[in-house]
Amino acid sequence: MAHQKSAQYDRVVRKQYRELMDRCKVNLDRMDSELPPPVEDFQDVLKDRGVSRRSFIKWTSIMTGALMLPPMFKPMVARAAEQFSRVPVVWLHMAECTGCSEALLRTSYPNIDDILLDTISLEYHETLMAAAGDQAEQCLEKALHDFPGKFVCVVEGAIPLAMGGKYLTLGPKGKTGLQLAREVTSKAAMTICIGSCSAFGNVQAAKPNPTGAVGVGQALGIETVNIAGCPPNPNNFVGTILHCLMFGGLPALDGLGRPVWAYGKRIHDYCERRPHYDAGEFVEEWGDDGAKKGWCLYKVGCKGPYTFANCGRIRFNDAISWPIMAGHGCIGCTEPNFWDTMAPLEKPIQDATIGGGEATVDHIAMGLTVATVAGIAAHAGATAWVHRDDKDTANKE
Ligand code: FSX
Ligand code: SF4
Ligand code: F3S
């Protein structure tokens, strides 16, 4: 009986993937004809940077897996990567430390994600652009004029609301962050919040929050795609744009606006120290024998069991390491209010039970994976995100 059910499930999933594949091809063809022409050919850029064909193919495998797609989608990921630099992007800075831009755009040596981010068509980026003052404002006006309803608005940082938003003013006309964000996001095809400040308020909204900072979605009353993390993993931003190019719509999002493919499971589910947790082997205090043996960091405050993100799976800095591998517990940086509720505690959260809940939580996580497939299928039918008319459909699904 169980065997029959599983065979039936396999058939349904295979059929969904085949249909997705067809839609993906159609969508990529359409993107090819609709996006602005590339400044440079992507394959030439890879060659100039010394990236071999083999490395590129390896990257497509990793990215396909990260997006929770089967290997048959590798050529589609490669095609979407070639279109990546043609997506017009307007990048706004609100209240933040610019760590998100640093994490995304500065690396010691480039991998494919970095090259994609280097070649991204940044029409406006306050930190990186050479222009200042009136000139910078003109760049923004030009981008809004040239790509109405077709650019991606990326927002970094929270929006202060106290005193009518005057804790943050920008540009020669002294617009508040609130005014600027409202003006630009209302003309964008979609708004991506990069980092937990932009997504949830984060550091700027930590108690006592004198500036009244909140996340972009809350400040503007709009739906946003939240690439959470302080800073977020560049891979999750790149993968989300690739997904939009491939399927013509947003990936399935969780209740906090985070793409399920990247934030659908807990840090605890991907952690290499998990066998020690299951065996009851814990670091009791910093520097003890357990710490030297790489045991579980739960008792010294790891918040991995309460934090949803894929850090342990994709790691940082060309997959070299991630916080728990480096020896410190997760501080919950992809979750709302983590500076107030999780980061300062170097012990487990009181009253939070995880032991008896494993089966339930893992069951939910598995359900989310299936929801990803269903979500992609729904979005794939939602037509192109580059069209202003489609914004509502894409954002609501
Ligand atoms: Fe926030 Fe990003 Fe943390 Fe900093 O810009 S998510 S404080 S890493 O830089 O906004
Ligand atoms: Fe890993 Fe932290 Fe979970 Fe321990 S509690 S297994 S260190 S995520
Ligand atoms: Fe943040 Fe925890 Fe990952 S602190 S970077 S979510 S391991």
Looking at residue 36, what is its pLDDT? 87
Predicted confidence (pLDDT) at residue 381 exceeds the cutoff of 60 = no
Question: 326: CA distance to ligand 3 center in Å?
Answer: 11
Looking at residue 172, what is its pLDDT? 85
State mean pLDDT over 202-224.
Answer: 97
Measured from the CB, is residue 157 less than 6 Å from ligand 1? yes
CA-282 nearest atom, ligand 2: 4
With a pLDDT cut of 90, the percent of the chain lying above it is 55
Question: 323: CA distance to ligand 3 center in Å?
Answer: 6
Looking at residue 331, what is its pLDDT? 96
Predicted confidence (pLDDT) at residue 206 exceeds the cutoff of 80 = yes
Q: Which ligand is nearest to the CA of 297?
A: 2
Q: Which ligand is nearest to the CA of 267?
A: 2
CA-304 nearest atom, ligand 3: 2
Predicted confidence (pLDDT) at residue 359 exceeds the cutoff of 50 = no
Cβ neighbourhood burial of 43 (10 Å; 0-12, 13-18, 19+): middle
Q: What CA–CA distance (Å, rounded) separates 256 from 177?
A: 22
Measured from the CB, is residue 215 less than 6 Å from ligand 1? no
Measured from the CB, is residue 202 less than 6 Å from ligand 1? yes
Residue of the nearest CA to atom 6 in ligand 2? 274
Q: How do residues 275-289 score in pLDDT, each as one tens digit?
A: 999 999 999 999 999
Range in 16-30, 130-144, 231-245, 346-360 with the lowest mean pLDDT:
346-360
Looking at residue 152, what is its pLDDT? 93
CA-103 nearest atom, ligand 1: 8
Work out the pLDDT band at 30, boundaries 50, 70, 90: very high
Range in 64-78, 136-150, 176-190 with the lowest mean pLDDT:
136-150
> Using only C-alpha atoms, what is the Rg of the chain?
21
Q: Which ligand is nearest to the CA of 195?
A: 1
Measured from the CB, is residue 195 less than 6 Å from ligand 3? no
With a pLDDT cut of 70, the percent of the chain lying above it is 86
Q: Whole-number mean pLDDT of the chain?
A: 85
Predicted confidence (pLDDT) at residue 117 exceeds the cutoff of 50 = yes
State mean pLDDT over 167-183.
Answer: 94
Q: How do residues 73-93 score in pLDDT, each as one tens digit?
A: 999 999 999 898 888 999 999
Question: 37: CA distance to ligand 2 center in Å?
Answer: 46
Domains of the chain, each with CATH number or no CATH: 24-261+384-396 (3.40.50.700), 267-346 (4.10.480.10)
Measured from the CB, is residue 331 less than 6 Å from ligand 3? yes
Contacts of 42 (CB under 8 A, 6+ apart): 81, 82, 84, 85, 119
Q: Which ligand is nearest to the CA of 291?
A: 2
CA-267 nearest atom, ligand 3: 7
Q: How many CA atoms lie within 13 A of 211 on its CB side?
A: 24
Measured from the CB, is residue 323 less than 6 Å from ligand 3? yes
Work out the pLDDT band at 319, boundaries 50, 70, 90: confident
CA-102 nearest atom, ligand 1: 9
Q: Tokens standing for 209?
A: 């929050």
